[in-house]
Homo-oligomer: A and B are copies of this chain.
Amino acid sequence: MVGTLAPRRDIPSATVSRLPVYLRALHEFATRDVTRVSSEELAAQAGVRPTQLRKDLSHLGSHGVRGVGYDVGRLTAELTNALGLNRSWPVAVVGMGNLGRALAAYSGFATEGFHVEALFDHDPSVIGDLVGRHRIASMGELTDVVARLGIAIGVIATPANSAQDVADALVGAGVRAILNFAPVALALPEGVACRSVDLATELHVLAFLRQPERVGADVGRGQ
Chain A interface (Cβ < 8 Å from any Cβ of B): 3, 6, 8, 13, 16-17, 19-21, 23-24, 45-47, 82-85, 89, 91, 98-99, 101-103, 105-106, 108-109, 111-114, 152-153, 176-179, 183, 185-188, 190-211, 213, 215-223
Contact = CB atoms under 8 A, between A and B. Distances in A.
Given A47-B186, A195-B220, A195-B222, 4 more contacts: A83-B207, A102-B103, A114-B200, A176-B210
Given A3-B213, A84-B210, A91 B203 contact: yes
User: How many copies of this chain are found per oligomer?
Assistant: 2
B185 A223 contact: yes
A205 B17 contact: yes
B45 A185 contact: yes
A112, A176, A208 — most chain B CB neighbours (10 Å): A208
**4 shortest interchain CB distances as A-B pairs:** A47-B185, A102-B102, A20-B204, A193-B209
A17 B209 contact: no
A101, A105, A177 — most chain B CB neighbours (10 Å): A177
Nearest to A101: B102
Nearest to A179: B202
Contacts of A103: 99, 102, 199
B106 A98 contact: yes
